[in-house]
Amino acid sequence: MTEPVQTPRVFPQRVFSGIQPSGNLQLGNYLGALKRFAAAQDNGIETIYCIVDMHAITVWQDPADLTRATRELAAGFIASGVDPERSILFNQSQVPGHAQLAWIFDCVARLGWMNRMTQFKDKAGKNAEAVSLGLFAYPALMAADILLYHATHVPVGEDQKQHVELTRDIAAKFNHDYGTEFFPVPEPVIEGAATRVMSLRDGSKKMSKSDPSDMSRINLTDDADTIASKIRKARTDAEPLPETLEALKDRPEARNLVNIYAALADTTAEAVVAEFAGQGFGAFKPALADLAVAQLTPISGEMRRLTSDPAEIDRILARGAERANAIAAPVIDRTYDIVGMIRSAR
């Protein structure tokens, strides 16, 4: 007699992603994450967005700064178009399931897997003995964030791809070790012209909110003059823009500005090159500055308006956490059952 063929469990589509409240939001966070988070709400799929304050404290955060940055990030989500009614928006530490599942996954992930994480190597640098254990375990907490909601799709920038792949490995190993199909194996969604926005000062480094040089990035809180001045002073070369994208291969700074233009204008880098072919940066930079100012200054204005009422932001996050917990708590219960942990009936 032949064995019945088992069809793999199918999970309903659900989007999850997060951002750390670890400083000012920068253009890379907006184009690589926030703008896409808002667009994902139009696809008829449930969207869950998390302010990952537990990730932020893997490096030192002044407590008052963490509180302020959490509220400011919530305002950044909303001002970028994430609707806290259509999406679930909350901060991670308000839902205990993140820490609970992270511990289980710390016991599933292998040390060898974690040792291969390039972001840890970059962030720890030569100081690996002195950094927190949390910074090393960060990707297992990220796996918990995603799998706690049985998320199937994770929109991220290019820099987070390795961590989502580790999440896939953790889900597969948990399922294999416990003989279950409880966790989905989620897909990273890395799309658009700006999956890796680079520093305005160095085309080989990604734009980052923790870069010591403020001129390296555009902050979502920058005013119009500052945005225009940072773009004017962005490092480029003396050549005009070429006819094809291929010809920008060895011109990372020029390529970066073209990508930023394309992502802001919701078009492709190819279309931007076709439009500006033969023109120098004397013409391209002002066009880019106008576009960036037009798109970003309403966001910073709305962020200022929202952060002037911290109690309202706290209410939005509390409501989001309640909705998140309603999904997460049964997942934790079932995980504990699978692992064999006794729990009293609720």
Q: Does residue 270 have a known ligand-binding role?
A: no
Q: Does residue 119 have a known ligand-binding role?
A: no
CB of 26 to ligand AQP, least distance (A): 6
CB of 176 to ligand AQP, least distance (A): 28
Of residues 137 through 166, those in contact with ligand AQP by CB under 6 A are: 156-157, 159-160
249 is catalytic: no
Catalytic residue among 209, 230, 233, 285: 209
Contact code string over 55-94 relative to ligand AQP, x by CB under 6 A = ----------------------------------------
48 closest CA partner among 13, 72, 73: 13
Catalytic residue among 35, 126, 205, 206: 206
285 is catalytic: no
Q: Does residue 145 have a known ligand-binding role?
A: yes
Considering the rule CB under 6 A, would residue 312 count as an interface residue with ligand AQP? Answer: no
Of residues 186 through 205, those in contact with ligand AQP by CB under 6 A are: 194-197
173 is catalytic: no
Q: Does residue 199 have a known ligand-binding role?
A: no
Q: Which of 26, 47, 152, 300 binds ligand AQP (CB under 6 A)?
A: 26
The three-state DSSP-derived secondary structure of 10-41 is: CCCCEEEEEECCCCCCEHHHHHHHHHHHHHHH
Burial class for 129, CB neighbours closer than 10 Å (0-12, 13-18, 19+)? exposed
Catalytic residue among 35, 121, 123, 249: 123
310 sits in the region (left: phi over 0; alpha: psi -120 to 50; else beta) called alpha
- According to DSSP, residue 81 is labeled T
The CA distance from 136 to 70, in Å, is: 22
Q: Within the chain, where are the H helices? A: 27-29, 35-40, 53-56, 63-79, 97-106, 111-115, 118-124, 133-147, 161-177, 224-232, 252-264, 269-276, 281-307, 310-339
Annotated binding-site residue numbers for ATP:
20-22, 28-29, 157-159, 197, 206-210
Show which residues are catalytic. Answer: 123, 206, 209
